[in-house]
């Protein structure tokens, strides 16, 4: 049970990290597009 909950937490953490990374990449790409246009 302890291992199971650990893996569940790990999966949630990795999902959150991936979402944060993709959001950061998305914001960075928009910033690059805006700066390259000007």
Q: Which two tokens stand for residue 28?
A: 């960075």
Encoded tokens for 38: 């000007």
pTM over 0.75: no
1 contacts: CB under 8 Å, gap ≥ 6: none
List of residues 6+ apart from 12 with CB closer than 8 A: none
Q: Report the length, in residues, of the chain.
A: 38
Please tell me the predicted confidence (pLDDT) of residue 5.
77
H runs (alpha helix) in the chain: 2-37
What is the predicted pLDDT for the residue at 34?
Answer: 93
Residue 22 CA to residue 16 CA, distance in Å, equals 10
Tell me, what's the pLDDT at 37?
A: 81
Q: Which residues of the chain have pLDDT under 70?
A: 1-4, 38
- Return the pLDDT at 3: 66
């Amino acid at each position: 049970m302890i291992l199971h909950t650990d893996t569940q937490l790990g999966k949630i953490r990795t999902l959150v990290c991936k979402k944060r990374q993709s959001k950061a990449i998305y914001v960075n790409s928009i910033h690059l597009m805006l700066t390259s246009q000007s």
